[in-house]
Amino acid sequence: MRDAAKTGTGAMDIMSRTIAKLLFLPTLVAAVAILVKGYAQTGDGFSAGVVASLGVVLQYLAFGRREAEKLPLVGLAGKGAFLGLLIGLLVAAVPVALGDPVFNHYPGPGYEVVYLGTLEFITPVLFDVGVFLLVFGFAVGSVRAIAHTIDREEEYRGPDADDLGEEDVAKGEQQ
């Protein structure tokens, strides 16, 4: 399985690549839909973030790190996580600065809300976007960091690294 992934000739590989490619855009669209409709229907920022990152992780699995990182925004995901956290903190803290309780939502109860389709323009939705960014950034960012490390180790140990002898296995168990 591993050798096939390297040379890229296995039949399984072609299939998984085709499927991964086909699924990528629909996954992202589904994620955005879950996020936008979150306040009216099933779903929220967390689910949307997981769906979107599943799409990206699938690309990593099918194509490997180098190809996957050519996708737009993947490199920025880690920073996006902290942008999400910042948004969350702002939504929480700004009401305090304005003299309202923490996490007070605007517009308040009884006020009109601006709609764009099902998307509501209220602060909890903004918070949800923050959660989305954070979950997406966490998943993609950590996968990316792990993939980097694996690549670096392979470069360091050379291409025969995966033919570990029995001694190495035993050593690994002791640790």
Partner 1 sequence: MLLPLFVALLAAPAVMLAGVWRPSLAAPVGATFAALAFLATAFAWYRGGGSVDVPWAPAWDLRFSVALDGLAALYALLATGIGFLVLVYSSRYLRLHLGHEGRPESEETRFYGFMLLFMGSMVGLAVAQDLVLLFVFWDLTAVASYYLIAYDRRDPDARASALMALIVTGVTAVLLLIGALVLYAAHGTLSVPELAGRVEPGLLLDVAGLLIVVAALAKSAQVPFHFWLPRAMAAPTPVSAYLHSAAMVAAGVLLLGRVYPLVEKSQLLLDVLLVVGLLTIAVGGVLALTRDVLKQLLAYSTISQYGYVVFMYGLGGEYGAVGAAFYVIAHAFAKCALFLTAGAVSEVTGEDHLSRLGGLRKPLPLLAAASGAASAGLAALPLTIGFFKDELFFEAALERGLLFAVLAVLGAALTFAYTWRFWGGLFLGEVRDGAGGLPAALVWPIVVLGALVLLGGFFVEPFAHLAEAAGVASYGAPTPIEPAYHFDLRPVNLMALGTFVIGALLVISRPVWRKGALAVSRLGEVAGPGRLYEGGIYGLNRLSDYVHRGEVRDLRSRVAAILLPAGLLVGAGILLTPSVEAYQVGEIKTRDLPLLLALVAVAVAAVTATFTRRHVSLALVLSSAGFVLALVYAFFGAPDVALVAVLVETVVTLLLLGTSKLIPYKVLRSQAELPLGGKRWRRIFFSCVAGAFAFAVVWGALSQPAAETTVAEEHIRLASEAHAKDVVTAILADFRGLDTLGEITVVALVLLGIATLLNRGRLP
Structure tokens at 161: 């690294």
* Cα 32 from Cα 47, distance rounded (Å): 10
- When the beta carbons of 61 and 71 are compared against partner 1, the nearer one is 61
Least separation in angstroms between residue 43's CB and partner 1 is 6
- When the beta carbons of 18 and 153 are compared against partner 1, the nearer one is 153
Structure tokens at 147: 């993939």
84 contacts 90 by C-beta, under 8 angstroms? no
> How many residues are present in the chain?
175
Stated as kind and residue range, the H or E segment containing 116 is strand 115-116
Least separation in angstroms between residue 25's CB and partner 1 is 18
- When the beta carbons of 71 and 90 are compared against partner 1, the nearer one is 90
Angle between helices 11-36 and 45-63 (to 10 degrees): 160
Least separation in angstroms between residue 70's CB and partner 1 is 19
* Cα 4 from Cα 103, distance rounded (Å): 52
Task: Enumerate the H helices of the chain as residue ranges.
Answer: 2-7, 11-36, 45-63, 65-68, 77-97, 123-157, 166-174
The binding site for partner 1 (CB under 8 A) comprises: 1-2, 5, 34, 38-47, 50-51, 54, 57-58, 60-61, 78, 81-82, 84-85, 88-89, 91-92, 96-97, 99-103, 105, 107, 109-110, 113, 120, 122, 124-125, 127-128, 130-131, 134-135, 137-139, 141-142, 145-146, 148-150, 162-164, 166, 169, 172
Least separation in angstroms between residue 52's CB and partner 1 is 11
Least separation in angstroms between residue 19's CB and partner 1 is 13
